[in-house]
Amino acid sequence: MSREFPVRWLCAAIALGLFANNWVAADGPLKLEPIVASVEQDRIAAIEHAMPSTVMVFVPGGAGGGSGVLISPDGYALTNFHVSSPAGSFMRCGLSDGNIYDAVIVGVDPVGDLALIKLLGRDDFPYAELADSRLAAAGDWCMVIGNPFLLASNLKPTVTWGILSGVGRYQYPSGTLLEYADCLQTDASINPGNSGGPIYDAQGRLLGVVGRASFEKRGRVNVGVGYAISINQAKNFLGYLHSGRIVDHATLGATVATAPEGGVRVSNILETSDAFRRGLTYSAEILEIDGRIVHTANDVQNIIATLPSGWRVKLVYRNEGETVETLVRLMSVHRQDELLEKMAGAMPPPPPREMKDPQDEDDEDRDKEESEGGDSVPQQDASKEVPNSVKALHEARRGFSNYHFNELAQSNFIDSLRQQFPSQDSPGPVTWTIKGKTADGQDVAIRVSDERLSMVAGAITVEPETNADLYDNIDDETIAGLLPALDAWRRMLAQGPKQFGETSYLGTMPLGGERPLRDCIIANDGELEVRFLSHPQSHLVEAIEVFADRDRDPAELWLIRRPNATDAGPSAIDLRYGTESLLRIDIDSWQTSADEQPTEEQHSKQADLEPENAE
């Protein structure tokens, strides 16, 4: 159905008024005009298509619950942070097929009020088709399916139908948590218990996750104004949520205001921000962020608040008549300790309770007396004991809601990395010998091993002696910045994440401001921070970033491959700082060989490169 759908309803309503007398046959039931019957059947089909992916969430021990929505066949589902937080590490989830499943927490986004959970017991769950919420418009038909007031104790969710009454809405956070930016507004009834559940379009595709509503001050009664986190915002955060992290949102590192003459002007900016390094200054006019045009300060907040911290996005601004297109790394809204402290102090809204009248309770008591047994509904299960199936999939760690899923991502990363070029043919340390030419035809020879990092490019020879030399070369933005990137890649292959250093899966992010989103592994290498960015389908490493100082640009080593190449080896490597390419090398050969046993002198030289001996 298209946006002509409301017009069809209007036509149907007119037809109802004009021809009602013709629809009642003397010897038969009411007959609808074909256009009305078609609309009705489309609506029924959309509900039947959407309902199986709706999740009814129950907090063990009878402490409330809410709703959710399945987004993959292996059981991953989205809900609200304020629904998952009272449950802790696990919850019980019911589906409209009548079955109840244990579920484990995966990752949480307390700022954006999202959480990712995983239902257990199947690998063929029904799941929602994700829409593009950017295409949604006020007036579009929509439906909300969920568990208001926990009425779905029989695992039959409630369906409400309405329209999108607004898009691009902004709802202020509670402090800095539970911020709803660029969200969807609907008049479809949303009540306590719908939180975390799906809002679908008229075809049954997932538009977003319901979370807030404008209630009367007393009684928490729905007044027809509800809000949903857009599914496009959720897509931005899915990689971070899959990492098991407690996720933070982004800030530009600048404040903006809507100018009296129109447009968005920078009113203040941090000199330590990447935006400042890219030339954004006080009074500059911001034109676009992440490919979206902005006209007001509200537009800026609506975009930035839907992005994770650490992302690098496109920025277009005008300063003194000059239009600049650049890339900006976004900062975090919180320090990690600050975010954890605010989470601990955040009080979720009171959990909904199933609403009953005295007659219902009398009937239930009588049914209970007459019952001969059977499975209890989730609310009646007062057990708070964590099932063994959940315990096996949960690991507590500071800064994470569930570190278990981060370790899974690390394992997948190293398995795919070891299938790529250069090959790791022998156990233990290896040496890489790389030869090629620069753009101006100069010969380049690079050697990367445990005992030696060196590069000869034309008349220039670079051979850092200590870890401090590596740090300084990156800080000074020299061509030697490619050496620690190559060395980190080589050692990660040989050692794996656990031996390399403190390593974790960060999530997904654009590469050079471009989608698709790449997987990002982050690892500490002494005083250096290394990031490996891999393509989500091929899993090939496409870039390695090495940070020496977080207030400076990292060394970025881009691995260039030929279009439609059948092998995984790069045909060129490109060293960049900021947005500029400093050195591109077209590869002639890349050899891998096992290291020889180091001599006593080599052992001494290697000791100078160890992190604890860095100057």
Mean pLDDT of the chain: 86
Q: What pLDDT band is residue 579 in, cutting at 50, 70 and 90?
A: very high
* DSSP result, 123-134: S----PPB--GG
Separation between Cα atoms, residue 83 and residue 96, nearest integer Å? 19
DSSP helix/strand/coil, 474: helix
Domain boundaries, given as residue ranges, for the chain? 5-50, 250-332, 404-613
Domain 404-613, architecture per CATH:
Clam (2.50)
553 token code pair: 């640009």
pLDDT tens-place string over residues 226-266? 999 999 999 999 999 999 999 999 999 999 999 998 899 99
- Contact yes or no for 206/55 (Cβ under 8 A): no
* CATH 1.10.760.10 is right for the domain spanning 250-332: no
pLDDT tens-place string over residues 130-153? 999 999 999 999 999 999 988 888
- Given this model, what pLDDT does residue 3 score? 46
Pairing between strand 331-332 and 322-329? Answer: unpaired
Q: Which residues contact 422 (CB under 8 A, 6 or more apart)?
A: 432, 490, 493, 569, 590, 592
Separation between Cα atoms, residue 159 and residue 196, nearest integer Å? 14
pLDDT tens-place string over residues 360-384? 444 444 444 333 333 334 444 445 6
Q: How many residues does the chain have?
A: 615
Q: What is the chain's Cα-based Rg?
A: 28
- Given this model, what pLDDT does residue 373 score? 32
- Greatest mean pLDDT among 63-67, 350-354, 497-501 lies in 497-501
478 token code pair: 């020299």
470 token code pair: 């590596």
| Omega cis (within 30) before 516 | yes
DSSP helix/strand/coil, 406: helix
pLDDT tens-place string over residues 20-53? 444 444 566 777 788 888 888 999 999 999 999 9
Question: pTM, whole model, 2 decimals?
Answer: 0.86
